Structure 1
Amino acid sequence: MHKRILIVDDEPAIREMVAFALRKGEYEPVHAGDAREAQAAIAEKVPDLILLDWMLPGTSGLELARRWRKEDLTREIPIIMLTARGEENDRVGGLEAGVDDYVVKPFSARELMARVRAVMRRSRSDEEDGSVSLGGLRIDGAAHRVFAGSEAIHIGPTEYRLLHFFMTHPERVYSRAQLLDQVWGGNVYVEERTVDVHIRRLRKTLEPYGLDHLVQTVRGAGYRFSTAP
Structure 2
Amino acid sequence: MDLLIGHTGFVGSTLARARDFDRTVNSTTINEIRGQTFDLVVNCGVPAEKWRANKEPDQDRANIASLMEVLSTISARRFVQISTIDVFKTPVNVDETTDPIQQGLHAYGLHRLELERFIATDFPKVTTLRLPGLFGRGLKKNIIFDLMHQRLLENINPNSAFQWYPLDRLAEDMARAVSNDLSLLHLAPEPLATEELVERVFKGSPIGAPEGLAPRYDFRTCHDALFERTDGYIMGKEEVIAALQTFVADEAGIT
Same fold? TM cut 0.5: no
Give TM-score, length-normalised by structure 2: 0.35
Higher relative contact order (CA 8 A, sep 6+): 2
Give TM-score, length-normalised by structure 1: 0.38
| The structure with more helix, counted as a fraction of residues | 1
